[in-house]
């Protein structure tokens, strides 16, 4: 939750996270100062993670030596350890006094002359979020390798398709927003993708993109790591579960019911294949087990794969606590055995007393038993209402 009682209504706060940026930080602070719009109070907040290259100390010394300006102040927050870009941004926002927040890197990839345009779009045109964008007309990237460009494009594609985002550059690290729009939001700030999280979690906001040219840094090196990439997928997954795409999903309970039943049947079919393959392999392919034993192994294997698929896919259950999962597995196996008995009984009844051909009887029996199984597992194993 983000609250701040000192909020000042005509101030802009620029958040600048730093890690090992001793070659950039002072010049970016100066450059920001000389690019600010007039008649506005701006505070720059540097959030440094105890950079080994002394970035934090450098800023402290610099602040001691410059004379205070009325409309541009600089503050520094020191954190003990490198805790990630997203959480540094969040920390900065929690300290910020402005009603408008700007976030940018300190390595000159984000040109300070764009800042007035961002602020204008918010203060004058009243947009809620403004994104400095590489991926709209007029925007560019300079100095990135093909590999890095492709990674960025791919990550952007995932966000757009996976999370239903319309913004062209949701991965931008250069953006501004009205502080009021994130009030009350629970922000995870995993990894690099702060903007993406805001885009997913805010509703009914107006968004504008402004083109700019992203220049790769001249000094120091990128902090993007394998870890950052994993963090990205983790945060997309979390955001995916958060809500917006779910909202777009089917709401009619009858249709949702049919969807799930369809998945349950599909899983059942896959289980049949598993069972068949394993039984065949054990009796001929890799061992010469007695066919009844082989069939038992096949049945157990298929019940297990069916269980895993139904838990994660059909019912979307992500709770893997051991005790709970074992108890679900027990119920699932019990219902499966029950289903097998029902199936057997039905085949016998249909063929023997109603003179229905064996193939047809088998199909009818399998469908019925599977349907019963679906209902029982939905209600008792995964504790869902029958129609929700």
In the complex, the residues that contact ligand GDD under the rule CB under 6 A are 17-19, 21, 47-49, 82-85, 88, 105-107, 109, 152, 171, 173, 192, 217, 222-224
Interface with Mn ion, residue 109, by CB under 5 A: yes
Q: Which is nearer to ligand GDD, 12 or 88 (CB)?
A: 88
Piece in contact with Mn ion (CB under 5 A), picked from 10-18, 70-78, 216-224, 229-237: 216-224
21 binds, among ligand GDD, Mn ion, none (CB under 5 to 8 A by kind): ligand GDD
Interface with Mn ion, residue 107, by CB under 5 A: yes
Work out how close the CB of 155 gets to ligand GDD at its nearest, in angstroms, rounded to a whole number. Answer: 8
- Provide the angle, in degrees to the nearest 10, between the axes of the packed helices 146-163 and 226-242: 10
Work out how close the CB of 113 gets to ligand GDD at its nearest, in angstroms, rounded to a whole number. Answer: 17
Work out how close the CB of 217 gets to ligand GDD at its nearest, in angstroms, rounded to a whole number. Answer: 6
Piece in contact with Mn ion (CB under 5 A), picked from 140-148, 158-166, 215-223, 233-241: 215-223
Work out how close the CB of 222 gets to Mn ion at its nearest, in angstroms, rounded to a whole number. Answer: 5
192 binds, among ligand GDD, Mn ion, none (CB under 5 to 8 A by kind): ligand GDD
Work out how close the CB of 184 gets to Mn ion at its nearest, in angstroms, rounded to a whole number. Answer: 31
Piece in contact with Mn ion (CB under 5 A), picked from 84-92, 99-107, 154-162, 182-190: 99-107
129 binds, among ligand GDD, Mn ion, none (CB under 5 to 8 A by kind): none
Work out how close the CB of 139 gets to ligand GDD at its nearest, in angstroms, rounded to a whole number. Answer: 12
Piece in contact with Mn ion (CB under 5 A), picked from 2-10, 217-225, 257-265, 329-337: 217-225
Q: Which is nearer to ligand GDD, 108 or 313 (CB)?
A: 108
Return residues touching Mn ion (CB under 5 A): 107, 109, 217
């Amino acid at each position: 939750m983000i609250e701040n009682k000192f909020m000042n209504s005509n101030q802009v706060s620029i958040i600048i996270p730093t890690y090992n940026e001793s070659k950039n930080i002072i010049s970016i602070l100066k450059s920001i100062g000389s690019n600010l719009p007039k008649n506005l109070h701006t505070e720059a907040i540097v959030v440094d993670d105890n950079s080994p290259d002394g970035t934090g100390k450098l800023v402290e010394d610099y602040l001691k030596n410059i004379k205070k300006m009325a409309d541009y102040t600089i503050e520094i927050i020191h954190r003990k350890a490198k805790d990630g870009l997203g959480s540094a941004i969040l920390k900065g926002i929690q300290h910020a006094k402005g009603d408008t927040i700007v976030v940018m890197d300190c390595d000159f990839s984000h040109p300070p002359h764009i800042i007035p345009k961002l602020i204008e779009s918010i203060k004058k045109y009243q947009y809620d979020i403004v994104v400095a964008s590489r991926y709209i007309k007029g925007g560019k990237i300079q100095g990135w390798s093909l590999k890095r460009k492709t990674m960025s494009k791919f990550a952007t594609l995932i966000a757009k398709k996976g999370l239903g985002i319309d913004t062209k550059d949701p991965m931008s690290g250069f953006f501004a927003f009205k502080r009021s729009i994130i009030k009350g939001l629970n922000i995870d700030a995993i990894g690099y993708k702060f903007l993406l999280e805001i885009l997913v979690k805010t509703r009914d906001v107006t968004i504008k993109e402004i083109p700019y040219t992203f220049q790769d840094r001249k000094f120091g090196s990128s902090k993007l790591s394998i870890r950052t990439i994993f963090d990205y997928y983790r945060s997309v997954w979390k955001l995916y579960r958060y809500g917006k795409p779910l909202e777009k999903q089917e709401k009619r309970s009858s249709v949702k019911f049919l969807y799930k039943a369809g998945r349950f049947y599909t899983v059942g079919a896959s289980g049949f294949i598993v069972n068949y393959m394993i039984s065949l392999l054990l009796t001929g392919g890799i061992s010469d087990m007695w066919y009844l034993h082989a069939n038992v192994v096949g049945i157990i294997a298929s019940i297990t794969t069916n269980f895993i698929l139904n838990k994660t896919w059909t019912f979307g259950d992500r709770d893997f606590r051991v005790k709970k999962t074992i108890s679900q597995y027990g119920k699932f196996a019990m219902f499966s055995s029950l289903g097998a008995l029902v199936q057997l009984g039905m085949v016998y009844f249909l063929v023997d007393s109603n003179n229905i051909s064996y193939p047809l009887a088998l199909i009818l029996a399998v469908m019925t038993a599977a349907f019963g199984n679906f209902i029982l597992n939905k209600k008792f194993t995964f504790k869902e209402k029958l129609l929700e």
